[in-house]
Structure 1
Amino acid sequence: MGILLPESANTMMCLRLLPLLLFAVAAAPASAQDVTLTQLENVRFAYAQVLRVTPVYQTLTATAMVETCTPDPEEEDVGSRLSRVVGAVRGVLGREPEEPEEVNERDCTVVPVRREFQRPIAYDVDYVYKGSKYRSRLAEDPGNRLRIRIGVTPVVSSSRED
């Protein structure tokens, strides 16, 4: 016959978990085949010599409303200008009571005026590193030299294609 074990709570729990543990151990090799290893990248930093920096501009258009007035033909008359000057001098010297000036109504209209201006939004940078030329678009002007990140990762393929 068999050996009788004392029935305790721990023994009963172990017996209940045994099928689950056996299933997990059996499934482990199958799931291990699906795992792909990722290579860590070898990274270092260096400096490249900047050859040329070309700003990239954004053209913006702004519209402003400007009041334009057509001059009165009387205002352009030299004689009327001279008479106004003489009248002003006579008024100051003669101490005569001032008469209200005539207000000439001018023909004024509000006209939209478009203005275009440019602002730099990026910089195209040509640079050389170890004899090879490169181009990148950067947010800021890097100056004479550019700090670059050099990363080397081997290409691992599942089939041999040489």
Structure 2
Amino acid sequence: MKSSLALPTLLLAVATSPAWGQETRTVIQAENVRFAYAQVLQVTPVYQTLNATAVEERCDPVEEGAQEGSRLQRVVGRVRDALGGQDEAGGAAAAEDCRMVPVEREFRRPIAYDVDYDYKGLKFRSRLPDDPGNRLRIRIGVTPVVTEGSTQ
């Protein structure tokens, strides 16, 4: 029984090892990075627009000589005056025509900034979460391009 277990183990070892005659090589390259400052040329805010609807009470004062439509309001106003109704200003309560009205509102808020900047005569544009001011700290990384079969 020992010989029947040795063959699958040998096949597993051959299947998981690199191909015969090939050498596996891993190159770890330290990243070539430095930091510098670029001159900011222009900052343009990017806005998000939100629309909201709120319901507000709108009241219009009723004129004393109003026609048929406000007869009930005049009666209610006179009863209120007879009972001594006072408004917040201390005078007699004025008759008003009040109703609930939907009001559309638009809100704009900056969500990002498009920043144009110059570094060594080259112009770049990036979208950033904050306004950087006059100078922008940038990261410069240099990595060589390696192509297959190049001997240079």
Q: Secondary structure at the match of 1:74?
A: coil
Asked if 2 retains the 8 angstrom alpha-carbon contact of 1:39 and 1:153, the reply is no
Asked if 1 retains the 8 angstrom alpha-carbon contact of 2:40 and 2:133, the reply is yes
- Tell whether 2:28 aligns with 1:41: no
- Tell whether 2:53 aligns with 1:70: no
The equivalent of 2:112 in structure 1 is 122
Q: Secondary structure at the match of 2:148?
A: coil
CA change 1:126–1:104 in 2 (3 A) is: closer
Separation (CA, whole Å) in 1 of partners of 2:30 and 2:20: 25
TM-score under structure 2 length normalisation: 0.63
Residues paired across the two proteins, number: 124
Q: Aligned-pair RMSD on alpha carbons?
A: 3.7
2:98 to 97, 102, 108: 108
Separation (CA, whole Å) in 2 of partners of 1:35 and 1:63: 65
Say which structure is richer in helix.
1
The equivalent of 1:57 in structure 2 is 47
Q: How far 1:74 sits from its partner (Å)?
A: 1.1
Q: How far 1:106 sits from its partner (Å)?
A: 3.7
CA change 1:155–1:111 in 2 (3 A) is: same
Largest Rg, 1 or 2: 1
Aligned pairs for 1:1-162 (under 5 A) are 23=13, 27-28=17-18, 30=20, 33=23, 37=27, 39-74=29-64, 100-101=83-84, 106-160=96-150
Q: How far 1:35 sits from its partner (Å)?
A: 5.8
Separation (CA, whole Å) in 2 of partners of 1:75 and 1:28: 102
Q: Where do 5+ consecutive residues of structure 1 fail to align? A: 1-15, 77-97
TM-score under structure 1 length normalisation: 0.60
Separation (CA, whole Å) in 2 of partners of 1:31 and 1:147: 49
Separation (CA, whole Å) in 2 of partners of 1:75 and 1:104: 14
Separation (CA, whole Å) in 2 of partners of 1:107 and 1:39: 79
The equivalent of 2:76 in structure 1 is none
Q: How far 1:72 sits from its partner (Å)?
A: 1.7
CA change 1:30–1:47 in 2 (3 A) is: farther
CA change 1:71–1:132 in 2 (3 A) is: same
